[in-house]
A and B are shown apart, each in its own frame.
Chain A
Amino acid sequence: MCNQKLSNLKRFVLASIALLSMAAAAFAQNVAISGKVVDSNNEPVIGAYVVVEGTTIGTSTDINGAYKINAPANGTLTFTCIGYKTQSVAISGRSVIDITLVDDAEMLQETVVTALGIKKEKKSLGYAVEDLSASELMKNKTANPISSLSGKIAGVNITQSSGAAGSGAQIILRGGTSASEGKDNQPLFVVDGVIFDNSSSIVGNSGFDGSIKSAMTSSNRVMDINPEDIESMSVLKGPAASALYGSRAANGVVLITTKHGKEGMVQVDVNSKFSTSWASRLPAVQSQYKRGYLQDMYDASGKYTGTSHNDESYNSWGEQGTRFYDNLGEFFQGGRILDQSVSVTGGTKNSNFYLSGALYDQDGIVPNTGYTKYSFRFNGEQKIGIFTFTANTAYSQAHTDKTLTSAGLYGASGTGALYAAYTWGRSDDMKYYLNDDGTRYRLRPLLDPWAEKDNPYWIINKHSLTDDTHRFTGGLSVRADITKWWNITYRVGIDSYTQMTANLIAPGSVIKKEWQKGMKSDNTRRYQYLSNSLISNMNWKISNFDFNLLLGASTDDTRSDLQYMMAWNFEVPDFFSYANATDDNKTFSHSASKKRLVGVFGEFRASWKNTLFLTVTGRNDWTSTLPLDARSYFYPSVSGAFVFTQPLQDAGILSDDILSFGKLRASWAQVGKDTGAYETATELWTVATMNGVTAVGNSWTRGNPYLKPEITRSTEIGVELSFFKNRLHFDYAYYTNNSFNQILSPRGPQSTGYIFCSINAGNVYNKGMELSISGTPVETRNFSWDVALNMAGNRGTLDGLPDGTNVMYVTDVQYAGMQAASFNGGNFMAIAGTTWDRVQRVEGSTTQNESMIGKVVLDKNGFPAYTSTLKQVGNREAFLSGGFNNTLTWKDLSFNMLWEFRLGGDVVNGTQYAMDAAGTSKFSGDIRNQPLTISGGVVASGSHKETIDGVETEITDYTEVPAKTWNPNEVYEFNGKQQLGYNIIQNYYTSVYPMESAHYITKVNLLRLRTVSLSYQLPKKWMDATGFIKRASVSVAGNNLLLFSNYNGDPETAASGAGVGGSSSVGFEYCGIPSIAGMTFGLNLTF
């Protein structure tokens, strides 16, 4: 794995160095010597320095590894190149000297892209940075570059929110740092030096047009990048690594470097992929009971007379039937992806370019849903004198066709297509949704048309829910290499997109009466980010010390603008336009925000003899978003590394046969974080007419003029070890990542007059460990086996919320009676839910009956009693998670297998909950005609008094209730009336059983075959025969083919999508588009 990855990166790095050094090269009069420098694979080494020892005469190798130099015939040439061991060769009169440089395995893994795009030797770093090359990312290419990171890096948690076409994925590094639902905990993305927005915003008017997170799926905006354009992704996990980025980087940074042209012939790459996909796991359904219910009947005197099937219900708790339809199974279709990309690259000594275009076209597994993306990129570089001009530009257009998922529209009693599909009675043919005349088939004509539930097919065929994103991103930079030891770079960056959401609700839908003639809404969000930065970088060497000083300043300007339009009640039938609605059937709104930031920063690095490394950084930000006296804030970081094997090896005490490399690292960093625009003042609602009078009032968010920046502090210690000539690597890290005095906008007590108020409160603590082990167990001339195992565990907790605030909820994430929550003094990623009542221990009591404590308290029907108060019932954070990646290469054949595993972490099975309640699940079919026995419960039987710590306390006494059984066919007295046991059992499973949240929570263990792929590089001789194809490869890959898990479904889920702030919606599953599995066939051609 590593070799492949590093050689690409290495070449890139070396080419850059070569370009630099050429200008500085000097020439002397002597013998003309030429030659070629190759590596152990016989590949040319580009940009190796060739220096006449003892002089300043030197050159570097070109793109073919060739060099020419004049040197004294009796001199010595030294060949140096990062990543290889330096070699000195006596000239001895020769005019041709070819050299094979040997990998310096220790060095091999050393250059990584760090903050501000600076490449550093990995061994010099006092913190964890991991990067992935293009080839590693492409092994399981997805539409979303984030998803390709899954399972590959310790401490990086990726959650695909659903199987919907175009749905987003969430990435969290080392746990979240903010408990506020409005604040995203995902890392900052930086593409070619320019901050790249990765929000997953749902644009629209709350639930009125379906624009809520539980009603639709959304993309995360990193999906706008064409994955094929990525040269490497570098993950800076903690604040120490990202401190230079300042405010926005408290959650870490993912640096993306896109591809550049190389010197040499113009090369064309064509990449075609075709995928099929399918719903990987559908819940088991019952096929015995009809839609409806068994109604208990009484005669006029109130005497019980038996039950009668009544089909005035959407639920399936009715009588047994004979005819059932595979509604759910037939609802999903096979998905399909066509993924086509082409790139052209080329370059000369002083310039290079990369041009690409791609089309990604996906049909989702839900009919009429899909995701289409076009993307174009041009990267170019030009050198003139000491200046290097670089431009990186990309344009993309993404279009998503989606559907209402679990929630219906506000003001309607209906539901989303997916919820309806999961709960649709199987005794009805769901496909029959239109009458012959094209009008809506009404399953329950007795209800008002707007009080029914929409058939899923009506929703997917009649409504339209789309979004379109047009995005331009670009960076223009100029670097001046003023001297060999000093360069200055100025960069201007832009990230600009327009996201348009359009919704159409068809006339005659299950939607409020006012909209029976249709409704449409259009939302446009424009986002614009502009940045300037100027960075000076100097380095120098004094004896055994290397020093580097970086100074810089940057400005950021972020604006967004939202427009919203809605019209309803279209007068000319079936024509949906704003011109076709009267003025009082239209509304619009507009909002805008602007925030700015200025930062100055510096970094000082020193190293001694490749052994000791020290980095100190500092940054001061001035933000527009905080009050004047708090707008400026400074924060430092310090990190260091000690390569303890270096002095031992230098002294000859240690060879690299066993311990090849060993390093200890440590870092401490602090990052300040500002807040959103306009949080310091209370604003007014839109001006209103109140019963004919003009009126204004305060908005429900209180401004806070006393806000201060929030501070994240992190520490990390780590050790890296390599053994057996670097065949085996260990990397271990322990970190803490704590955010203090967070700027939260919690829901507060509304006796403040407000629902939300930005305040400084609450501390989030994360601590965790990461371990990665990688190696090459087998390596022969034709065969190699690379293996990498990584794992990590994070523990996130929260405290310091305002006194009396026990919990921070994520409002959007409420499913199955449970809610995403962070508890004050408890878990950050907790689940809040109800439980059955149990006998509580009375602290300090000596007279309480110990044997009763913890037993379930029964109500007078003999059912477990419950209270609707929410408490912590689970923690969604995994105990441990990781990946296991294997690559086997035999000649031109490469086989890759990526497994992911997870131990622990609770997942809420909301789909099961919904289907049990609706009576469509297999479980609900199995239990309803079984006797229900409740045993071990207790009831209060009196009380006694005890004086505890001087206080007279009343202690309730309990007695155990004998086990009680309800048979489905017998009649019992229940809540004061005669009822059939069947109905009592239904009552239990639909209203009592779910109140014990644990019934719908699974502590998940899983092993998933994320991808398995096989690729074959077609023989070179075949290519030569064509005369125009340089290289060709074919590949086949399977995604998500195997999942071993104790969870009923796919536990990788985030019911409210990616980008939900605070503790997020990870770990909540609720009637979403099921996760998909698929096969991909690919062809790769290089001309």
Chain B
Amino acid sequence: MRKVLPILTLFLFVVALILPLSSPQTVEGQAATEALTTDMDAKTDDLFNGFGALGTPIDECVAEPVPPTARGNGRFEDNKFIFSERETIEDGLGPTYNDVGCVECHQSVDVGAFGQQMEFRAGHLSGGAFVDAPGGQLIHARATDSDIVEHISTAETVKAFRIVLSTLGDGFVECLANATLQNNVAAQPAAQRGTLSQVPVTEANNTLRFGRFGWKAQHASLVSFSGDAYLNEMGITNPFDGFGGRSSSAPDAGTHENPASTAEGVIDVTFPSPFDPVPDPEDDGLDVLAFADFMAATRAPGRQNPIPAAATRGDPLFTAVGCAVCHTRTFTTAAPGTLINGGAFSVPAALGNKIIHPFSDFALHNIGTGDGIVQNAGQSSANQMRTAPLWGIRARNRLMHEGLNITIFDSIQLHAGQATTARNNFNSLSAGQRNDLIAFVLSL
């Protein structure tokens, strides 16, 4: 027994050392796995990626949806319901706005995806610099009162429409670390290298992070993006509406309703004006958390299934001609537990260490299609646009930022500036190869 005891002690010591190290709680060093994808078919119930709880579809006759009180502590079905609700004047809708709910625009082919709607931005040049139109660059399409429907003067010579983007899979994009985006851009050839914009994260006291959402990459977190959209697209003030994608250049922009730019001049429409019966903030921020968590809990757009033979042939051509330089095929999200968004969000297990295929570098480039609008990336960004993520592009037929192009072929031919070499390489392909490459893009 005296001999056995030291041996047994040593054995137990080794076991005690190994046990914690083999614990599944330790995530660093784990191999990354492919992110879950949706088949992009509204008839299939496959949007949920595992972030938070799933819950059950909401029936308002039975129970009201419950929003989260902090990121990730709500239920997907509740958040989806809130994302799909139509706002009313009593909720704070307007007085100027673009639509009545998230899903009104982000709907096709499934909740959270694309829409054909446009937002309209305008301004003018002063000394070569872009200046917002009076009352703000975002010219709302709708209002709750005909007296404040927005009109611009002919002095606003810079004008641009922007089509709705899909939000599916954006939770994975949010979980891309700054360094991941920066390393990718640094590896691009100098002539094609993108510009990463540093934008404020509203929920982290405006800490800077690399932008990745929106046509100008003007947002870095889904809460900032949602808070901005709630104010600027629906006219609902909230604690997160902030300064990130603000529609006005006023120093206190984002803390109240956007003023209306009318033929009679700029009108203050915020409470307690006769146009706005609801005190600010009109939302306590919980709806914003629901929007953000809904988007964060959606799966990434999946490939066409089955993949056509032409698309398989076009796959290597996409890289060979140079499309993949900016339309980056693959990223891996940060490890679970990583603090992102200025420390305001910890990467959850469902979104961490995931391999995604967004076909975008989320950086700004000048490809000759710039709209002249400046948001929060400085004057040099006027003619730059974020590389459009191509995942799920087969589900939309209005392309480029203005949605004026109907075909992939036209869109490719309109690539100029930093994309000139890639376009020329495409044109150097045989007719069959060009068809194959287009088939590949349409399989994404």
A binds B: no
